[in-house]
Amino acid sequence: MSRNIIGFMKRKFPPNIAKRRAEKIKEIDDKIRSLYIQRYYLIDTCRHNIIKTSAGDARCDICGTYFGWWCPKSSDHLCHYKEPDEWCIYCGQPEERK
């Protein structure tokens, strides 16, 4: 936890209240950190189901991961580009779409 926050709490609250609040904040921070770890594990192990959104991009409808543009012609339904070209090698659409 930031020393600035602890210092502020010590000035703002009596020592016993400041200490309890600091402990509660640390407890919440630990829970948040744990939830982030769980979230990234679930995303990393997701068996992505790629869908086309109304905006024309490709996202997993299970975890919400963004994959770029939806391609109707590629086997994985994602546009693929070769450097330095900016056009999908399957559907021919540009990388920057308006």
| Arithmetic mean of pLDDT, 7-25 | 76
Whether the link from the prior residue into 84 is cis, omega within 30° of 0, is: yes
> Residue 55, class by beta-carbon neighbours within 10 Å (0-12 exposed, 13-18 middle, 19+ buried)?
exposed
Tell me the average pLDDT across 18-26: 88
Can you give the pLDDT at residue 94?
85
Q: Please give the single-letter amino acid code of residue 60.
A: C
Tokens 């926050």 -> residue: 5
Q: What confidence tens digit (pLDDT) does each residue in 23-80 have?
A: 999 999 999 999 999 988 988 899 999 999 999 999 999 999 999 999 999 999 999 9
So what's the pLDDT on residue 3?
58
